[in-house]
Amino acid sequence: MQLDTPLVYVKGVGPYRAEMLEAKGLVTVNDLLHYPPFRYEDRSNLKPIDRLAPGEMATVIVEVRGVRMPKLGRKNVGMFEATFGDSGRNTLVGKWFHGAYLANVLTEGMRLSIYGKVEFDPYKGDLFMMHPEFETLAADDEDGDASLHTGRVVPIYEAAGKVTPKMMRVLTRRVLDTVAPLEEFLPAAFRAQLKLMDRWAAVQAIHFPAEDADLRLLNSFRSPAHLRMILEEFFWLECGLALKRTKAKAVEGIAFSLNEQVREKIKAMLPFKPTGAQKRVLGEIAKDMAEPHPMNRLVQGDVGSGKTLVAAEAAIIAIENGYQVAVLAPTEILAMQHYAYFKNLFERLGYVVVPLAGSFKPKEKEKIRGYVEQGLAHVIVGTHALLEEGVRFQNLGLAIVDEQHRFGVMQRLKLMEKGERKPDVLVMTATPIPRTLALTMYGDLDTSVIDELPPGRKPVHTKHVPSSRIEEVWSFVGREVADGRQAYVVYPVIEESETTGMKAAEKSYLHLRDIVFPQFAVGLLHGKLPQADKEAVMAEFKAGRVQVLVATTVVEVGVDVPNATVMVIEQAERFGLAQLHQLRGRVGRGGNQSYCVLVTEKLSETGRERIRTMTDSSDGFYIAEMDLRLRGPGEFFGTKQSGMPTLRFANIIRDAELLEVARNEAEAFIHHPPSEEELRRAIHFIRENWQRRYGLVQVG
């Protein structure tokens, strides 16, 4: 059997199961070999019922003697019980809450392997297991080999549809028995330096550990086999990113001049004295822009740290060198806000700033495109409309991308293609990204951090209030608004149904407008409103004519109203920490004390920890790190990122230290390879194998 053999041709799979496996990303034999168990159980303690002792974890081979749904009086308590026996005289009871479905699964006479914690019922004198794991061992079982599932350390896989963990074991064993040993591709020096085990031995040991394997190391993914495969994944990822960075530096770009005229223009534009962090980051950007190859830099900064001002300074460098600047934003609200900001800063310098968005009428778009193509516009600010084929720049020199995680990687590259020579790229994000995540999401970018807020900013007071006390919240909002301030009330857009979130906001808007705050002007803003209506509502709110703005998360990024001092977030438990922090950043932008009120329904333990993090800290990077730990990298931004690699063995949170090790080794290997032949072999492997499976690294 070959590594690229489709799984449909493996005995026991067939078209039906192949479809389920494909939904998990398992298409070929190679994919299955790189689909590790998510935990392990020690089922080597195989005992007859007569020798079981309360408190131990044990595996027992039994026969089903009877099944029942016991009642308490006339009431069905939802408990399913099965009585098991073996060749001895004693019996064992298995109990499952909400187990009625098992009546169609377990039948008398069925042979099973069951695994669980043995407990003693003092009232009945019975031994029992609560929710034991079980697998059928019928005579016509597909593999006919109980040794895969009992009497050993057993791998537990995530099911793929109706392909059970047990069937995954069977299929994996069949593949391992028929495929040729895996070839070694990791550089010998890397393996020797870190004392890594052989690849084929590691894959075998991960799927079917040795009898003396340490269960603790297996379940913490720190066995020698796991360490080998984790470091392999990270090494190839970091090699790919290092190659991309090397390739980018080999491309001819624009060497911008930072002369006295540029410096004078920047001084004339600045509305206030920049912070030390802003000066430092501008220095890093200016140094990049002076290089003859394209800049690729990520600027991270907490809410209100002044990233856009730094971007404006970079834009002046490009404009004064005779080039145009494109500013790409994820939403029209944010694009229009950036347009107003740049226009206000640049008008006094004589620069022409134009907007472009999808909602513009065809004649408007055509007119603006003409300005851009003829070089009459210095700065063009827009949404995805900037990426359309009809948009042609006369001389694009700098592309500024705001909130990059809202775009696919290919969209950033598409914007870069619009210059005659590769433009410099400046990526901004107000979502603090922990270093471990930045190394994989933005590994091809150099990173700058604005870690200082402008002076005079007061920290936002954050309070948690259960929904049962919502009237107290409305009283507080009423007092703030009566004192001349403004407030946001935000509702979640539930991912599965934006319409549901929109309706919740609309219903609450009517309640607040007509019942709670009839004396105030209440506005409504959500993603489904026509663009003209969104802009009108925001203009009214900025002007102070709307005093309470009811909204969905469309206000999460970029909305800047210094007079707004209260952010009420309803159903706050539905939001991730990064999102809550972004929303909180909409207030506290003026001189008055501001407040964020987190209103929640019943909280889970994770929910409580999330809310506690928000009330205890205003450090965006700490909050982002906690969010990453609580939700995992795939959901960090609320949606699965197109730029995130799908790592099978490695986990960038759990294995952060190993990622750093692999990164250093990969950098050394790419820049100082043992031989040209070994480097060529590694590049070939990345292109032919790793790149297809993980979908992140494109090395040419």
C-alpha triplet 690, 692, 696: angle, nearest 5°: 80
Do 565 and 434 have their domain in common?
no
Rounded Cα gap, residues 596 and 100, in angstroms? 46
| Mean pLDDT to the nearest integer, 579-604 | 88
- At 340 the pLDDT is 86
Structural domain that includes position 317? 260-450
Tell me, yes or no, whether 8 lies in a domain.
no
Tell me, yes or no, whether 14 lies in a domain.
no
Rounded Cα gap, residues 537 and 288, in angstroms? 40
Q: 286 near 255, Cβ under 8 Å? A: no
Tell me, yes or no, whether 251 lies in a domain.
no
Do 81 and 127 have their domain in common?
yes
- At 145 the pLDDT is 58
| Mean pLDDT to the nearest integer, 557-566 | 79
Residue 682: phi and psi, rounded to 5, are -65, -45
Last residue of a domain, one of 617, 639, 664: 617
Do you know the residue count of the chain?
Answer: 700
Rounded Cα gap, residues 119 and 11, in angstroms? 40
Do 420 and 492 have their domain in common?
no
Burial pattern 198-236, b for ≥16 Cβ within 10 A else e, equals bbbebbbbbbbbeeebeeebbbebbbebbbbbbbbbbbb
Last residue of a domain, one of 134, 151, 168: 151
Residue 141: phi and psi, rounded to 5, are -55, 145
Query: Within a 13 Å sphere around the CA of 3, how many CA atoms are in the beta-carbon half?
Result: 12
Last residue of a domain, one of 151, 185, 215: 151
| Mean pLDDT to the nearest integer, 29-55 | 89
For residue 438, give the H/E element and its range.
Answer: helix 435-441
**Is the pLDDT reported for residue 431 higher than 80?**
no
Place of tokens 């399913």: 80
Mean of the per-residue pLDDT values for the chain? Answer: 84
Higher pLDDT, 466 or 1: 466
pLDDT tier, 492 (very low <50, low <70, confident <90, very high otherwise): confident
- At 560 the pLDDT is 74
Q: 415 near 427, Cβ under 8 Å? A: no
Q: What CATH number is attached to the domain comprising 587? A: 3.40.50.300
- At 144 the pLDDT is 46
- At 43 the pLDDT is 79
**Is the pLDDT reported for residue 159 higher than 50?**
yes
CB within 8 Å of 489: residues ≥ 6 apart: 477, 508, 512, 548, 549, 550, 551, 568, 570
CA distances from 103 to 92, 106, 620, 627, 630 (A): 18, 6, 51, 41, 37
Tell me, yes or no, whether 55 lies in a domain.
yes
Output the six-digit token pair for 437: 């995540």
pLDDT tier, 308 (very low <50, low <70, confident <90, very high otherwise): confident
Rounded Cα gap, residues 506 and 47, in angstroms? 62
Do 431 and 484 have their domain in common?
no
Higher pLDDT, 117 or 699: 117
Rounded Cα gap, residues 675 and 460, in angstroms? 56
- At 473 the pLDDT is 95
C-alpha triplet 521, 522, 523: angle, nearest 5°: 120
CA distances from 683 to 187, 644, 688 (A): 12, 20, 9
Least confident of 91-95, 534-538, 625-629: 625-629
